[in-house]
Homo-oligomer: A and B are copies of this chain.
Amino acid sequence: MGANKIKGAALSLFAERGYDGTSLALIAEQIGIKKQSIYAHFKGKEDLFLSLLTETFTIELKREEQFLEHYYTSSLDAFLKASLASFLSRYNHDSRLKFWLKNTFLPPIHLYDQVNAQLNRYIHDVESLYIKRFETAVSKQEIAMNPQQANLAFSALLDSVAVELIYGDQQRAVTKMEASWNIYWQGLIATNSDFERGR
């Protein structure tokens, strides 16, 4: 379908250049059509962008669910390390991640509310999934810490990897991620005793 070719080109252009930096003419040019032809598939630029955003969060949430399922029997640290690695890898091979990261950070102002609403729903849904995983880890006595806090601190790791990746220094992103991970995991383990004592 022609709509999918348009979506594909638009996704990577929005990911690289943002909403305002991407013209319909540029999208059309990528796939060898005229900009006016886009209106046969989408009501306009807003419609195209918001379709991509909705679709992206749906896909990303489903991917998270499958990821969790796949690592359900793994140890917590194996799962979390895989989650970080997957984040890093997807950033380079799939523009979906870059697309939503950049465009939720600095959305076109006239779409701010809609973008933010979708983002918050996504964050909430993913958080629920991860907290469940941390609760499981507690019940299996892999860790002995407040699951909400462990989850928040882990999602902070992901945030920071995102920032470094977008800033463009791949090597630094990896180095920083490893340093953060080591301290994070040490911290999780070290907090065990406090939790057990009911703090």
Enumerate chain A interface residues (CB-CB to B < 8 A): 16-18, 20-21, 102-106, 108-109, 116, 119-120, 123, 148-150, 152-153, 155-157, 159-160, 162-164, 166-169, 175-176, 179-180, 182-191
Contacts and interface: CB of A to CB of B under 8 A. Distances in A.
Contact of A176 (B108, B109, B152, B182): B152
Given A152-B179, A182-B149, A106 B18 contact: yes
Contacts of A109: 16-18, 21
A176 B105 CA distance: 18
Contact of A105 (B102, B153, B169): B102
Given A105-B166, A183-B183, A183-B187, 17 more contacts: A18-B18, A21-B109, A102-B105, A103-B106, A120-B167, A149-B179, A150-B179, A153-B183, A155-B160, A156-B160, A159-B159, A159-B160, A159-B164, A160-B160, A162-B163, A183-B184, A186-B187
A159 B152 contact: no
A108 B102 CA distance: 12
A199 to B, nearest CB: 11
A149 B182 CA distance: 9
A168 B156 CA distance: 15
Main secondary structure on chain A at its contact with chain B? helix
B186 A191 contact: yes
B168 A153 contact: no
A160 B185 CA distance: 17
Name the 7 nearest CB pairs between A and B, nearest first: A187-B187, A20-B20, A183-B187, A156-B160, A159-B160, A149-B179, A190-B190
A116 B169 CA distance: 11
Contacts of A175: 152
Contacts of A106: 18, 102-103, 105-106
